[in-house]
Amino acid sequence: MFRPPSFRSSPDQPSRWWWRPFVFLALAFATELAIMQGLPLLLPQLPWWQLAALDAGLLTVLLAAPAWLLFVVPLERLSTARGRLLHRVLSIQEEEQERITRDLHDGIGQSLTAMLMQLRLMQSEPLPPTVDRQLVDLRTLVGSTVEELRRMVREGRPPVLSDLGLQPALQQRFASFVGNDDFSIRFDWRLPEASRLPPAVETAIYRIVGEAVTNAAKHAGASTVQVMISRCVAGVQAQIVDDGRGFVGRPNAAADRQSFGILGMRERASALGGSLRIESQPGRGTTVEVIIPYDGAGHSSLCCLGGEESADG
């Protein structure tokens, strides 16, 4: 079972940092004292203002290394650990979601379909009118439960993502938007046909593109969304352009605090060392662009950096 890492035992936990400013101040005090005592003895001929300038310069140079060691290095370590943790949490979430989706589809879904068939069979027999009415109600109920389940399976992590990869998974996802005449998706896959990316990269792009297209359908009133997946110097790039109403400023600031879509997109990109850019103008649509670093040899940059578990998702 997954155990969340213990924050208390982490050497870089900020609550254990209280001593660092004191050590730094003590060092600054001792260094300044030594300089103030030593400089006039070593260079007695210098005027006071040159001594003061030399004092300040020496102090800055001497304190740069301790400041780096005491603050910058641990902060960098903390930031890398946070990235790894985020990546791990997202991977576990995805694995869990895939398991639930499979269970829903293969377990409950099949049982419900079998129930529906049984009910149909029962209705083909002559039955008292009250029982027949109850059977119709029951069939309607089971039918709508199957529909609800299908929706959950569609929106959950599709097994096709692990089995066949990003391109077919996205095609399947986009197909769920079809049926609305006022909304179309143009999908431009510019990577080699059926090529696979590291699992974590595939998952991140699948989720980000899914959210951006959902936003275009839900908020933008867009009629066309163009999705392009291509290779770029840094890794792999996804661009989602809609022709909807757009928005001004930071979207999450305007939206209520329950809006986690864009926040989630950013977190997913940054968990893999990537970046997300959103450009929008009222009446002129929205462009979402995400770049996930990827070395082309099957590794996302975070995996190379961490040298740890294979990127899963």
Ligand X SMILES: Nc1ncnc2c1ncn2[C@@H]1O[C@H](COP(=O)(O)OP(=O)(O)O)[C@@H](O)[C@H]1O
Per CB under 6 A, residues contacting ligand X are 215-216, 219-220, 242, 244-247, 251-252, 254-255, 259, 261-262, 286
Question: Binding partner of residue 247 among ligand X, Mg ion, none, CB under 5 to 8 Å per kind?
Answer: ligand X
Q: Which of 139, 145, 143, 209 is nearest to 176 (CA)?
A: 209
Q: Inter-axis angle of helices 73-103 and 199-215, to 10 degrees?
A: 80
Closer to ligand X by Cβ: residue 145 or 184: 184
Contact 186, 219 (CB under 8 A): no
Question: Binding partner of residue 219 among ligand X, Mg ion, none, CB under 5 to 8 Å per kind?
Answer: ligand X
Least distance in Å: CB of 258 to Mg ion?
A: 10
Residues 212-271 that bind Mg ion (CB under 5 A): 215, 261
Question: Binding partner of residue 242 among ligand X, Mg ion, none, CB under 5 to 8 Å per kind?
Answer: ligand X
94, amino acid identity? E
Closer to ligand X by Cβ: residue 115 or 228: 228
Contact 289, 234 (CB under 8 A): no
Closer to ligand X by Cβ: residue 67 or 255: 255
Question: Binding partner of residue 171 among ligand X, Mg ion, none, CB under 5 to 8 Å per kind?
Answer: none
Contact 123, 156 (CB under 8 A): no
Residue nearest to ligand X (CB): 261
Alpha helices, DSSP H, located in the chain: 19-42, 48-67, 73-103, 109-123, 129-155, 159-163, 166-175, 199-215, 251-254, 261-271, 301-306
Closer to ligand X by Cβ: residue 281 or 310: 281
Q: Which of 271, 222, 264, 223 is nearest to 86 (CA)?
A: 271
Tell me if 280 contacts Mg ion by CB under 5 A: no
Which residues contact Mg ion by CB under 5 A?
215, 261
